[in-house]
Amino acid sequence: MTFSSTSKELEYFRSLEAVRERSNWVYSLVKEGKSKYFKVDEAKLEQVASFIGELIARDYTSANSVPAHGRWRSFEIQNGSDTEQKRDLVNEHIQKWMSYGVDSKEICRRVIDLFVVSVILDAGAGSKWAYFDSETNSTYKRTEGLGMASLRMFEAGIFSSDQKSPFQVDSKKLLSFSDKDLIKGFQVSESNPLIGTENRARLIRNLGRVISNEEVFFPRSGGKSSSRPGNMFDYLVSKSIYGKIGVKQLWKVIIEGFYEVWPKTETKIEQVSLGDAWKCDILMQGTFSDRFEEYNNIIPFHKLSMWLTWSLVEAIERVGCLAVCDLHLLTGLPEYRNGGLLVDMGVIQLNQITIDEQIMTGNVNTEDKTPLFEVNSQVVVEWRALTITLLDKLHLVLCEALGMKTSEFPLNKLLEAGSWKAGRELSFKLRPKTGNPPIGIISDGTVF
């Protein structure tokens, strides 16, 4: 929803600036020894960078060939033994649509449609769920499985109310999207459980309501009664100057336009829920700013919004031919693969007392004995903040090791080539039964 009058407080806590700034504050306090839960060993970032460098050498011809981190990668599947030789399922559709005479703007709308629903459904699936794809005769788990399932539903027209236009996502169909639609599309069963099935379906219905009511960011065209997420491209084009938009303009569409998609949380300003933003007790021990003093203990992450922004940047630039500027303002993703890597390699150290307390109270994963915490717990909140700041620091260390400027090897390439991939590979090496991160998060399918 667009806000005709937004307080400075609300505007700040929705901003990209607040995510990075307040994470840096948490990092400073942890370094000062004020955390009850964590210590940080920044010197070990060199070991992490070395590990990521090995993965880059293994998986790519050079650092220059590393692609951007975004949802598009989930639609690129292995094609033979060469890790760089992949089948691009999205591009296959783009080429077909072009051959059918579909104009470039509509193609971009379609890709945005797909990416939006796919990211909204991309919170952690859990270690027990998998998706079998009959076309490729392959089984996919976690984010790849969620991506493949959403793609196949998109191809089948499950998100479209118009049988003549199956390759779209529209509000009319989303409003009637049912739990059964998701269960069928994602092959959920007692033997194949997916975390947060009902919550995911609710997010899709929320999306339908949002784009139906919001005509500024998602303008309807041709007198159509239903709107689409992809219509944001028309809005962005209208705001562009010489074929360019600032990333803040895209962020505004996502953070305000999709505001009511996300579940309401207890963290509020002026009775408006901030979504993926949480109370962070450690911030009360610092005096970093006298701005918004009443809300000094709040830290925003907006992880799925950030993930969606990174993903849509690629679609808008590659398909829509609209340049998105100032990408350095975006942050790394505070999720369990990036954060898990930093814990597993000793950069972030959770104290043993906290781990023992979880074991004593039975808050552990029974399969791998990793401690479990609620998403709003101070452990998880601090961990996520530390992850954002340390990804920035790791980016600098890695670029120095590669002999490249950060503009040549931007943060989204670090996420793709290294931190996310390294986090997952190390998790499966250390916890082969589950591949879970070293710190478990009790998820409901709407945040991670």
Q: What is the pLDDT of residues 180-213, one digit of tens each?
A: 999 999 999 999 999 889 999 999 999 999 999 9
Return the percent helix, strand and coil in the chain, to nearest 5. 50, 10, 35
pLDDT in tens, 313-357: 999 999 999 999 999 999 999 999 999 999 999 999 999 999 999
Tell me how far CA of residue 387 lies from CA of 196, 343, 349, in angstroms.
Answer: 24, 9, 12
% of the chain with per-residue pLDDT over 90? 79
- What digits encode the pLDDT tens for the residues 102-136? 999 999 999 999 999 999 998 778 888 999 999 99
Helix (H) or strand (E) holding 86: strand 86-88
Residue 5 has pLDDT above 50, yes or no: no
Structure tokens at 406: 């950060």
* Closest by Cα among 314, 309, 322 to 244: 322
8 A C-beta contact, residue 151 and residue 114: yes
The whole-model pTM stands at 0.92
CA distance 24 to 18: 10
Q: What is the pLDDT of residues 36-62, one digit of tens each?
A: 999 999 999 999 999 999 999 999 999
- Smallest CA-to-CA distance from 77 within 94, 89, 61 is with 89
